[in-house]
Amino acid sequence: MALSRLEQRIGAHLQVLYPDLDPGELTQACLQAISSPPDAPTPVPHSNLWSQCDCVMITYGDSLRREGEAPLHTLHQFLNRHLADCISTVHILPFFPYSSDDGFSVMDYSSVSPKVGEWEDVSALAEDFTVMGDLVINHCSSRSRWFENFKAGVEPGASFFVQVPGDTDLSAVVRPRTSSLLREVETASGTRHVWCTFSEDQVDLDFRNPEVLLTFLRIIRLYIEKGITWFRLDAVAFLWKEIGTRCINLPQTHQMIRLLRLLIEHREPAATLITETNIPNNENLTYFGNANEAHMIYNFSLPPLLINTLISGNCTHLKNWLMTMPAAQHGTAYFNFIASHDGIGLRPVEGLLTDWEVSNLIQTLQRFGARVSTRTGPDGQPKPYEINVSLFDALKGTVQHGPDPWQVARYLCAHAIMLGLEGIPAIYVHSLVATENDEDRVTHSGHLRSINRHIWQADDLEEKLVGETHHRGVFNALRRLIKLRCAQPAFHPNASQFNLQLGESLFGYWRQSVSGEQSIFAIYNVTDTPQRLNLAELNLLAADLWHDLIRGQDYEDQVAQITLAPYQALWLTDQVPVAEADAAAD
């Protein structure tokens, strides 16, 4: 029987990854594992599965708690009550049973931790929102059944992990941590050394064994059946190991992502793959492939560059970086964020900021309560890896003057910049409500990342969101900005974007909708002093009226000079959709 086009494509990927195996048999095993028919319809290439109305909220399953309720149920209630009109997608960080790293040491990929809820809670959430889940694909917990089986020498697990002789030269391997790369383990077959990229509790899985691939395809099938359609490939850059190489961004890793995308999108046409690769910018961009790998890539350079811009009052590096960023092909998009459960990564600004500028950024944020995590560099010495701090506290002042009265304005400016950029915005739950540094969690957990992993008692947060607090002010302002964005065709994730040259104090870009019916000039004062803007510099098109969406002000004189207050954002458009009036009124 002739092979279908899908079978041929799967077999071609498998032939590269597993040249010693029969690609035909393995192709059928893959299709069976993910439960996809060989004649499944092919998704239309270069189709955008998103619009300007897409906005993601990132959260742990238990970031909000209420006595007597499953945290996932509490989260669902909060979303329906406050965010149903502006958040389309919810990224629930790992909600499985785990042993460390706040979920990223997964013990059982097939069950929901009873501490947060049940699969029914995930499926219920998926009825109202798109759900993005983590595929923690590089490693699993040393307390998992798989690793216990590895030590006992039985399957599944005995052949699931990367192991090398203890005296192997691994000096070329790129490290994201300072811990030992190899962990010595006693097994039924004697002493073995297993590969641990991130910690001794996170043991790397060996995808050179096709049984590991098939196991994860079954896991993906389960997630799809439970309502998850967006998949975050955690730490995927480290997936494939070859001794003598850097063991990061290897060709086999890219081949594996292409294979996963092919299988997943034929199983679920609405499925979306997002690669989490906290690496230098040029390396990160390769995970788009030729629109055949990730649908979206985390825009890791944006957080450190944007924060550096706003605390220094100089947008030069942000502007220069943006000018080098290629437009995402249709069917792909940047996943824009400026805060997450992790820290502010510093590898993504390698080659973009000087060592002195990185040091200055670190020292400034340390004045605002930040901690610094390190990794082992090529010379064996510790190097700064990420800055651990809540975003609200990171923007509490400037390099020159320290803390100042402009914290909220600076904070909202940061989000307005992100919301207007090409790509899909993702906002951490603690950014939405302007959570401060959680010093107590750092003390009690001993982990620096805990500073930005606060757990709110839901009723306490509700009180703050109706009281006279900065939490309420920020929350309402961000909701309004998100809804404004949703009404603008020019803010479609794949709409055209061009940079504006307005000096170092004013940052700006021009967006135009795919069909050309709307233009927006997005301009931001990134300093703590008023800045003059000559509208003639923008070369405004010959519209009779230009309108600032954020403040609701009209501009008829296209050559007037206007003054932007410290950290003021201006979304200047030639067309105001009807929905904008509703968003502005909220």
Residue tagged active-site, from 121, 234, 342, 438: 234
First to last CA, the chain: 61
Task: Find where tokens 């032939």 sit.
Answer: 15
Give the SS3 label for residue 341.
Answer: coil
Q: Which residues pair with 337 in a beta bridge?
A: 426
Burial level of 40, CB count in 10 A (0-12/13-18/19+)?
middle
- CA separation for the pair 492, 507 (Å, rounded): 20
- Omega of the bond prior to 425 within 30 degrees of 0, cis? no
- CA separation for the pair 13, 173 (Å, rounded): 25
- CA separation for the pair 62, 117 (Å, rounded): 9
- CA separation for the pair 420, 55 (Å, rounded): 12
- CA separation for the pair 92, 341 (Å, rounded): 11
Q: Do 201 and 141 meet the contact criterion of CB atoms below 8 Å apart?
A: yes
Q: Do 58 and 337 meet the contact criterion of CB atoms below 8 Å apart?
A: yes
- CA separation for the pair 328, 470 (Å, rounded): 36
Of 487, 485, 518, 512, residue with least CA distance to 498: 512
Q: Is 557 a catalytic residue?
A: no
Instruction: Tell me the residue ranges of DSSP E strands in 282-418.
Output: 296-298, 333-337, 344-345, 371-376, 382-388, 397-398, 402-403
- Omega of the bond prior to 176 within 30 degrees of 0, cis? no
- CA separation for the pair 185, 201 (Å, rounded): 12
Both structure tokens of 111 = 């069950």
Both structure tokens of 26 = 């393995």
Give catalytic residues, as residue numbers.
234
